[in-house]
């Protein structure tokens, strides 16, 4: 795949480049700020963009803002966002369009090189990948969550694994149930979350958006350090 990488730290940028190249992908450009990222995509649309959230000049959310701009200009451009912390509002905003080809991973996840590269491939293929730590933090919250409260415990487990970007086969293996049972639970999730009949992948993304919205802090501005 052709990858454009945006990361302000020189060592991290070089390390990510080497990982992707080792697995057979080509980093066409590796840039250090959001403006350079936008220009790089304008020059040559890649198969995927991998970008840090916080970059110069303010080190707040420049990378995310650039990602949202790029998704508006190139609606089907796959984007994987990397963040130091669990920031649910960022993940929800990136997923807002309901289209696939998006991912939100914590930087700690890069230490597991195979999982990181798998996430890049999934997102490039149109999938949606949410960091498992984000999912775990959501599951630990006890606030009443309206629509999500309609789900059975098993449906909640299935939805959490959907949020991690798992396929039905992978969910079946994780929960030690049949794929037929997973399909039944997925249909139940769609029904209980009031998601109308639509293309399967699109509804899976919408289910994840609902999950993030309803399980985050009130107002959708969650930001929790992972350590």
Same domain, 82 and 45: yes
What is the residue range of 11's domain?
Answer: 2-131
Same domain, 124 and 143: no
Same domain, 159 and 127: no
For residue 66, what is the domain's CATH number? 3.40.50.2300
Q: In the prediction, which pLDDT does 222 show?
A: 33
Same domain, 90 and 156: no
Report the pLDDT averaged over residues 14-36. 95
Contacts of 106 (CB under 8 A, 6+ apart): 82, 83, 84, 85, 86, 131, 133, 134, 226
Of the candidates 104, 131, 158, which is a domain's last residue? 131
Q: How confident is residue 4, by pLDDT bands cut at 50, 70 and 90?
A: very high
Same domain, 149 and 197: yes
For residue 172, what is the domain's CATH number? 1.10.10.10
Same domain, 53 and 75: yes
227 found inside a domain: no
Same domain, 111 and 35: yes
| pLDDT per residue as tens digits for the range 125-160 | 988 888 877 766 655 553 445 667 788 989 988 988
* 20 token code pair: 């992707």
Same domain, 68 and 140: no
Number of domains in the chain: 2
Q: Which of 58, 55, 76 is nearest to 66 (CA)?
A: 55
Q: In the prediction, which pLDDT does 218 show?
A: 38
Same domain, 81 and 14: yes
The answer to whether residue 51 scores a pLDDT higher than 80 is yes
Which comes out higher in pLDDT, residue 217 or 43? 43
Same domain, 110 and 124: yes
* Average pLDDT in the chain: 82
Cβ contact 18:30 at 8 Å: no
Same domain, 39 and 105: yes
64 found inside a domain: yes
201 found inside a domain: yes
222 found inside a domain: no
Same domain, 120 and 164: no
Of the candidates 131, 160, 182, which is a domain's last residue? 131
225 found inside a domain: no
Least confident of 14-23, 45-54, 74-83, 124-133: 124-133
């Amino acid at each position: 795949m052709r990858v454009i990488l945006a990361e302000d730290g020189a060592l991290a940028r070089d390390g990510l480049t080497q990982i992707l190249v080792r697995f057979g992908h080509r980093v066409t450009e590796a840039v250090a700020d959001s403006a350079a990222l936008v220009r790089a995509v304008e020059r040559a649309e890649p198969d995927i963009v991998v970008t840090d959230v916080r970059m110069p000049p303010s080190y707040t959310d420049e990378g995310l803002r650039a990602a949202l701009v790029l998704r508006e200009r190139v609606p089907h451009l796959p984007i994987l966002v990397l963040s130091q912390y669990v920031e649910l509002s960022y993940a929800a905003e990136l997923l807002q369009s309901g289209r696939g080809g998006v991912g939100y991973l914590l930087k700690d996840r890069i230490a597991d090189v195979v999982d990181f590269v798998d996430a890049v491939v999934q997102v490039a293929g149109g999938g949606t990948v949410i960091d498992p730590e984000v999912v775990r933090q959501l599951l630990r919250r006890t606030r009443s969550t309206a629509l999500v409260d309609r789900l059975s415990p098993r449906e909640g487990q299935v939805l959490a694994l959907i949020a991690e970007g798992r396929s039905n086969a992978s969910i079946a293996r994780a929960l030690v149930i049949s794929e037929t049972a997973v399909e039944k639970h997925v249909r139940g999730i769609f029904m209980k979350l009031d998601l109308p009949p639509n293309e399967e992948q699109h509804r899976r993304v919408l289910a994840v958006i609902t999950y993030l919205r309803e399980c985050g802090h009130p107002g959708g501005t969650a930001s929790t350090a992972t350590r």
